[in-house]
Structure 1
Amino acid sequence: MSADLIAHLQDLSAESGRLTARAMFGGHGLYLDGLLVGVLIEEGVYLKADDETRARFEAAGCAPYVYQGQQQPITMSYWSVPEEALDSADTWRIWLRLAQEAALRKAAKKPPRRAKKAAR
């Protein structure tokens, strides 16, 4: 994945928080202040969507990331972004905020992690 693309996204995100990228699944995960909000995979930028935001992505002509599973195609909850979002910090921040909100809703639905028992 292009370090230049990651740096560009970090520049676009500067007013939204700290955007970092970490290698994962043959691409990179995009984290905004430590929260997974997107992925960079196959030279594409995909942001987290959920039931509340999916229609906005669809209306903008975006598409979900789909990969071939062992039996059938698997559709992920990460959607491409409009091309103009990669050219404008103001537009990028709108889409990034939608992804952040979706990721926060997902995190709120997860049960709390149980503490590990101390070794005896």
Structure 2
Amino acid sequence: MSSGYGTYLLDELGSLGQVSLRRMFGGAGLFLDGLMIGILDEDVLYLKVDARNRPDFEAAGSEPFTYARMGQEVALSFWRLPDEIIEDGEELRAWALKSRAAAIATGKAKAPRPKAAAKKRATRRRH
């Protein structure tokens, strides 16, 4: 991942909420408000899809992110962002928000634990 591309994404998506890139599996996960909405692999951005936003990706001729596992090709529910979208900040943000909704809808999004509840659980374990 080039640092320039990652910086561009952080700058363009920063107005949507807390955005970050975390290195993982040779690439990076793109997170918005703690939800994984994308994968950045070799300077290609793949965004989370579900039944509601997949038609947009299909209409643009996009394809899913795939990897090889035990001799089989596995497709994930992250699809390549069309090149023309990446250069239009407004469109990029709109597609990112749809991917955030997909992350929530597919149940992969978990609400962060409230700090008080986590502290209470930690206290109980000590006794």
TM interval, shorter chain, is 0.7 to 0.9
AA at the equivalent of 2:11: D
Question: What is the TM-score when the length of structure 2 is the normalising length?
Answer: 0.81
AA at the equivalent of 1:118: R
1:10-46 CA distance string (max 9 Å, x none): 1111321221000111110000111110010132110
CA contact (8 A) 2:37 2:96 kept: yes
Instruction: Provide the C-alpha distance between the structure 2 equivalents of 1:74 and 1:25, rounded to a whole number of angstroms.
Output: 15
Report what 1:105 is aligned to: 105
Report what 1:34 is aligned to: 34
Report what 1:118 is aligned to: 125
Aligned residues: 117
Question: What is the TM-score when the length of structure 1 is the normalising length?
Answer: 0.86
Q: Higher helix fraction: Structure 1 or Structure 2?
A: 2
- Higher Rg of the two aligned structures: 2
CA contact (8 A) 2:103 2:109 kept: no
Report what 1:67 is aligned to: 67
AA at the equivalent of 2:59: A
Q: What is the root-mean-square deviation of aligned Cα atoms in Å?
A: 2.2
Instruction: Provide the C-alpha distance between the structure 1 equivalents of 2:103 and 2:109, rounded to a whole number of angstroms.
Output: 10
CA contact (8 A) 1:10 1:18 kept: no
CA contact (8 A) 1:12 1:88 kept: no
Report what 1:82 is aligned to: 82
CA contact (8 A) 1:68 1:74 kept: yes
